[in-house]
Amino acid sequence: MLLRCPHCQKRAEHSRGDFLGDWVVCPACELPFAWRRPQGCAGDTSAEKSSLASEEHDKAHSEE
């Protein structure tokens, strides 16, 4: 699966073994992020909820 890191914007191919539940670790910056389906795709909303939590987490840590 091709994913783009929200931190460094690098795109990378990830296999199922790279995933930690709904989370994946960027190979470039080594920060974990929640993956989500592209907008407009039908599917499970749990990944979207997790992604929103990740964005809130990122905002909280960027203000420190």
What is the per-residue pLDDT across 22-60, written as a single tens digit (0 to 9) for each?
788 888 898 988 877 666 655 544 444 455 556 665 666
Predicted pLDDT of residue 48: 46
- The domain limits of the chain are 2-62
Average pLDDT for residues 2-22, to the nearest whole number?
81
Measure the CA–CA gap between 54 and 48, rounded to whole angstroms.
Answer: 10
Tokens describing residue 35: 């993956």
Q: Which of 54, 11, 17, 55 is nearest to 29 (CA)?
A: 11
In this structure, what are the phi and psi dihedrals at residue 34, rounded to the nearest 5 degrees?
A: -85, 130
pLDDT score of 44: 47
Question: How many Å is the maximal CA-CA distance in the chain?
Answer: 36
